[in-house]
Amino acid sequence: MSLRIGDDAPNFTAQSTEGEINFHEWLGDSWGIIYSHPADFTPVCTTELGRTAQLKDEFARRDTKVIAVSVDELKSHHDWVKDINETQNCDVDFPIIADTDRNVAELYNMIHPNASTSVTVRSVYFIGPDKKIKAIITYPASTGRNFTEILRVVDSLQLTANYSVATPVDWEQGQDVIISPAVKQEDVEGKFPKGHRVIKPYLRYTPQPNK
């Protein structure tokens, strides 16, 4: 059965470039991203892992841990990391799981047989501190991921987890957000002291509460 938003994130123990990892223990109370790569020594994956390493401080600022998955073996991962560091001018210091038995790939539905029976698609799972799946993005192997969007999703998830708001189309940090329809109009001023504007009774904007 495919995983869906709100489901428990499956736990697993696996070997990685950072040693053996129990996923839930490794995640602790942090937010997390687990994402898959079709294969080692492939061009698009090299740029993606490099970009992840370059964004280390951005993920840390959001208390978000990142872990990658590939069905290749551990030695291959270590050798590949050298190429990534060299070509992407970075230092890969996050774990890459050696999923040779495809256990993790199967748990997280990362192999789509109509695309390939042997390698993973580019899946991204966003996981909250409660170990629940908060969002899922899936790309084909031919399309590199947009890490600006991945960070934006983390920002939205963390914001909306703590305030009764939603983020509108193309929202970015610091922009106005939408007040949840569940908030009664008579309660708006108390909940959102920065003010608000009403476009329609169901469409109410307020400045980002945590900025």
- CA-CA distance, 183 to 191, in Å (whole number)? 9
Contact between 144 and 48 (Cβ < 8 Å): yes
- CA-CA distance, 12 to 18, in Å (whole number)? 15
- CA-CA distance, 158 to 129, in Å (whole number)? 10
Strand partners, 166: 178
Active-site option among 27, 33, 34, 45: 45
90 among known catalytic residues: no
Tell me, what DSSP letter sits at residue 69? E
Q: How far apart are the first and last CA of the chain?
A: 40
Owner of token pair 């740029």: 47
| Catalytic residue IDs | 45
